[in-house]
Amino acid sequence: MISILELRHIIECGFLPLSCICTSNPDGSLMIKVFEPSSDHVELLVTGVKTENLTSSRAIADLISELHGEMRVMKTKYASGMGVQGSWQ
């Protein structure tokens, strides 16, 4: 099993060159905040990400890929004037 500290580090590195802060909640879930480092503009904020299935590099990569996809969708909707909020579990 991957430690929560290592898991957080892997997720945070998965969003470079953007900044990412990944924190663990008391219930064991994660909160992931991705933002532009120069402006602090939040690109993505998800809460309640369950960690029990994040036990392999493939599962972690799939999560990061899905979150990148969410960011692309939100940028597209925002650009077209259809604001959106997302949550991933």
User: pLDDT tens digits for 7-36?
Assistant: 999 999 999 999 999 999 999 999 999 999
> CA-CA distance, 73 to 68, in Å (whole number)?
9
Radius of gyration of the chain (CA): 13
In angstroms, the Cα distances linking 41 to 2, 16, 19, 20, 80 are 30, 15, 10, 12, 18
Share of the chain above pLDDT 90, in %: 78
User: pLDDT tens digits for 58-68?
Assistant: 999 999 999 99
For the chain, the structural domain boundaries read: 4-79
pLDDT band at 1 (very low <50, low <70, confident <90, very high): confident
Please determine, for residue 84, whether its predicted confidence score (pLDDT) is greater than 60.
Answer: no
Query: Can you tell me whether residue 16 is helix, strand or coil?
Result: coil
